[in-house]
Amino acid sequence: MIYFFTLIKIIYNDIPFIKLTTLLNSAISKVLGSEYNDWKEYIQPFSFSDETRKATTTIKFNDPVTSQQQVWTFNTPINITLSQNYWGKSLSERMHLLPGQIVNPNDSTKGMIIDTSDILDPPNPSKNYGGTLRYHTTASIEFDSLLDNTEWLEINGTKVDVLENKFSAVLLDNRLLGEKNNTYDIIAYHNDGVYKAQYELLGLVKH
């Protein structure tokens, strides 16, 4: 039944990103029916192209028989014009900071707890800026890019390694290495030849 995704057409101009994804999820739910909940966790973030006027739905899962990863991609015709704000929001939603663990500051006898970041500079969504966050120990960053290789992640001007469209890096607490620089300028980029966008986040690791 999944192949019917290609027959769904959504006619909306300049609708909010959240509304469009809701419409697509609703269309997929109708196609899959009672099987939707079984497939929901394998559906990747949607991607949209103003040039081809299509939304791309990607489903990733491990085949229970072969244990090999399967990737299914379906295109949905749409009538929509994308904006820079859309791409900035899309990049931010696919960037994830993962804090490390620290000794419980209230009671060290209670062991380790998940670190909580301090917001030194608040986010500014209109400028695609996620703010400045301070962590108190080593943290990690992950960015799920689109499958069309139009996106990448850089930290302090250096491109991060990618595996199966997931960029990941460790934001080390460099004090352990005797270094003073614990600042990480994290920028996710999108450039598909039609649209260029970026989303920036500044991370610090220190007491």
Q: Digits of tens for pLDDT over the chain (207 positions)? A: 233 333 333 333 344 556 677 777 887 888 788 888 888 888 888 787 766 777 888 888 888 888 888 888 888 777 656 667 778 888 999 999 898 888 888 887 788 888 888 888 888 887 888 888 888 888 899 999 998 889 999 999 999 999 999 999 998 877 666 666 678 899 999 998 877 888 888 877 765
User: In DSSP terms, which residues pair with 69 in a beta bridge?
Assistant: 62
- Specify the fold of 87-205: Immunoglobulin-like (2.60.40)
d(CA 92, CA 76): 23
Say if CB 41 and CB 32 are below 8 A apart: no
What integer pLDDT is reported at residue 202 of this predicted model? 80
Say if CB 59 and CB 71 are below 8 A apart: yes
Residue type, 19: K
What integer pLDDT is reported at residue 2 of this predicted model? 32
Domain boundaries, the chain: 2-81, 87-205
What integer pLDDT is reported at residue 5 of this predicted model? 34
Q: Which pTM was predicted?
A: 0.61
What integer pLDDT is reported at residue 26 of this predicted model? 83
d(CA 70, CA 14): 33
Say if CB 73 and CB 56 are below 8 A apart: yes
